[in-house]
């Protein structure tokens, strides 16, 4: 039973990490094509886990986005286990004329 629970938990972590990667990529693409940071954040919130933080840095025409989320096993039996931090980054060049 413990192996099944661990396997399901691991799959959940992978899915959450993929959502962070998708959100980082979507936000970076939006900012690179000239969207405002607020609009890009809105786009990223659609893909990101609900409690994720999204940070956007723009320097010298390069857009860097970091999406971070923390996952904890919500079952009371496993409450003592530490939370698992997940982080995804995306970097893109701004489109010409959008710097």
- The phi and psi torsions of 90 (rounded to 5 degrees) equal -140, 140
Whole-model pTM: value is 0.85
Chain length of the chain:
99
Cβ neighbours, 10 Å, residue 87: 15
Residue 29 domain boundaries: 1-93
Indicate the number of domains in the chain: 1
Chain Cα centroid distance, residue 63: 15
In this structure, is residue 52 part of a structural domain?
A: yes
With CA atoms as reference, report the closest residue to 48 among 31, 64, 71. Answer: 71
The pLDDT tens digits of the residues spanning 39-76 come to: 999 999 999 998 999 999 999 889 999 999 998 877 77
**Which pairing describes strands 84-93 and 62-71: parallel, antiparallel, or unpaired?**
antiparallel
In this structure, is residue 99 part of a structural domain?
A: no
The predicted structure's pLDDT at residue 83 = 86
How would residue 96 be classed by pLDDT, with cut points 50, 70 and 90?
confident
In this structure, is residue 98 part of a structural domain?
A: no
The predicted structure's pLDDT at residue 99 = 52
Contact 29, 98 (CB under 8 A): no
In this structure, is residue 3 part of a structural domain?
A: yes
Chain Cα centroid distance, residue 65: 9
The pLDDT tens digits of the residues spanning 2-38 come to: 788 778 888 989 999 999 999 999 999 999 999 999 9
């Amino acid at each position: 039973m413990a192996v099944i629970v661990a396997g399901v938990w691991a799959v959940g972590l992978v899915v959450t990490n993929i959502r962070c990667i998708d959100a980082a990529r979507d936000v970076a693409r939006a900012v690179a094509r000239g969207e405002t940071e607020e609009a890009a954040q809105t786009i990223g919130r659609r893909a990101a886990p609900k409690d994720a933080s999204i940070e956007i840095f723009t320097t010298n025409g390069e857009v860097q986005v970091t999406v971070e989320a923390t996952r904890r096993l919500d079952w009371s039996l496993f409450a003592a286990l530490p939370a698992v931090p997940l982080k995804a980054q995306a970097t893109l060049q701004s489109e010409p004329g959008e710097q």
